[in-house]
Structure 1
Amino acid sequence: MQPIDKPDETSAAASPAAPAATRSPRPKPGERRVHILQTLASMLEAPKREKVTTAALAARLGVSEAALYRHFASKAQMFEGLIEFIEQTLFGLINQITNHENNGVLQARAIALMLLNFPAKNPGMTRVLTCEALIGEHERLTERVNQMLERVEASLKQCLRLAQTEALARANNDVTGNAGPQTAPQSAALPADYDPAIRASLVVSYVIGRWHRYVRSGFARPPAEHADEQLLLILQ
């Protein structure tokens, strides 16, 4: 970085002082994209179910619509940016849960609670997860959300298969007289007809239902209300 040359003292004295520059530095392209997505998400938090237009988004940002399209090719691409953020956040947290918790039922419970608590910090994102904000947009957006939820269900199914394997191992140990200590109520035996796929599907349906209720209530009723008791019924 080169030093700034000082003006000649005599010329400085002969001319009035120049006003200090107040223009803030231009944000980098990546920073501008993030700001656009943050603003879009905040507009989706409005209690009224009004469709967010690019004109309204541009007005909120204080820029022209053309300025938006310098960073995103279309409005659909903006929503894809939000979906990508949701995917990275949710699956990053799912990986943390499965890496730190060994009990399959507790893994599934923690994942379900995380999915229910995510909207509390990101209300606007809930309208993307329920696809309400995507009505009238490109169908690929809804397809991507559905694919994401299928991946979540697959993760839950894997956790509950682990729980089933653990339960069978404990049952075999009981038969052979090598039973280990019961360290938590979640270690209780699972039903003989326990189906991880059905339970995982039920968990996802329950979570989606809670997301919809949260949106319908104007973000007033927390999705995780009474979740512990209800998840216990679903998972065991």
Structure 2
Amino acid sequence: MNTNNKKPRRQQILEALAHMLEVSPGARITTAALAKEVGVSEAALYRHFPSKSKMYEGLIEFIEETLFSRISIINSENENALLRCEKMLHLVLAFSERNPGITRILTGDALAGETDRLRLRVIQLFERLETQLRQIFREAELKEGLHFGMSVIETVGLLMALLDGKMSLYVRSEFKRLPTANWPQQWHHMVHGILAAEPQYS
């Protein structure tokens, strides 16, 4: 993402940070390098963000606002539970694919050496997503009569592992292995693997 002088300075800084995370995989971003990327002094950066961790928090807030506003729309649609679940997972994967640098934050790769508060914020984001998925699967059981070969918690845990794995592979491949690659086929086989013919009791 390239900065644009017509954009607010705060937005320029966040876009520059996301861009540097994308083009410098494995490298720790310094405020000096970020200031140079934006074309301002370090003092100018701190007028908009009191610390570098606040810049990362700004990107995490962007992730939360983007994903959960769209998830709310998906949940409001009058569609079956599994279709909404598929749309929700594809949304996260497509967002990851379009924002490689930000994906490094989601996987924790970019947060090494940063404050624990950032790591906990990302954990909470994924917990919130997992809660949304659990609600959908419980609805699938109660309202649609679907049955799964595992508990809702175990089923959603498997889907979260798939989501996390595809994003981690994207980062590890230096953004060559796209998160949405082969998604329709993978989702098809995943659904057939988790559905059970009869209720499962434990």
The residue aligned with 2:85 is: 108
C-alpha separation in 2, matches of 1:151 and 1:61: 33
Q: Does 1:88 align with 2:88?
A: no
Residue in structure 2 matched with residue 196 of structure 1 by the alignment:
152
Structure-2 change in CA distance of 1:190 and 1:96 (3 Å): same
CA contact (8 A) 2:85 2:133 kept: yes
Q: Over alpha carbons, which structure has the higher Rg?
A: 1
Residues 1-236 of structure 1 mapped to structure 2, 5 A cutoff? 31-46=8-23, 48-168=25-145, 189-191=146-148, 193-235=149-191, 236=195
Kept in 2: contact 1:164–1:196 (CA 8 A)? no
Give the 3-state SS of the residue equivalent to 1:51 in structure 2: coil
TM-score (normalizing by structure 2): 0.87
Contact 1:199 1:234 in 2 (8 A): no
After superposition, the CA RMSD in angstroms is 1.8
**For 1:224, what is the secondary structure of its paired residue?**
coil
- Partners of 2:33 and 2:24 lie apart in 1 by 16
Please list every run of 5 or more consecutive structure 1 residues that lacks an aligned counterpart in the other structure.
Answer: 1-25, 169-188
> What is the deviation of 1:47?
5.4
Instruction: Tell me which amino acid in the other structure corresponds to 2:60.
Output: I
One-letter amino acid of the structure 1 residue matched with residue 147 of structure 2: L
Q: How many Å separate the matches in 2 of 1:35 and 1:90?
A: 21
Contact 2:138 2:152 in 1 (8 A): yes
User: C-alpha deviations, 1:115-156, integer Å up to 9, x for none?
Assistant: 111112111110110111111011000000000000000001
Aligned to 1:14: none
- The letter for the 2-side match of 1:69 is Y
Q: Which amino acid aligns with 2:99?
A: N
Q: What secondary structure is seen at the aligned counterpart in 2 of 1:157? A: helix
In the alignment, the residues of structure 1 paired with residue 163 and residue 19 of structure 2 have an alpha-carbon distance, to the nearest angstrom, of 22
Query: What is the aligned residue count?
Result: 188
Give the percent of matched residue pairs that are identical in Structure 1 and Structure 2: 43
- TM-score for the superposition, normalised by structure 1: 0.75
Per-residue Cα deviation, 1:62-91 (whole angstroms, up to 9, x for no partner): 211111111100000000000000000010
Q: Distance in 2 between matches of 1:109 and 1:68?
A: 40
2:198 aligned residue: none
Instruction: Please list every run of 5 or more consecutive structure 2 residues that lacks an aligned counterpart in the other structure.
Output: 196-202
CA distance in 1, matches of 2:25, 2:76: 40
**Structure with the largest fraction of helix:** 2
Amino acid at match of 1:110: K
Q: Shift in Å at residue 229 of structure 1?
A: 2.5
Give the 3-state SS of the residue equivalent to 2:48 in structure 1.
coil
CA–CA distance in 2 between the matches of 1:119 and 1:215?
Answer: 10
Output the CA distance in 1 between the equivalents of 2:12 and 2:50.
Answer: 16
Per the alignment, do residues 101 and 230 of structure 1 end up closer, same or farther by CA in structure 2, a change over 3 Å counting?
farther
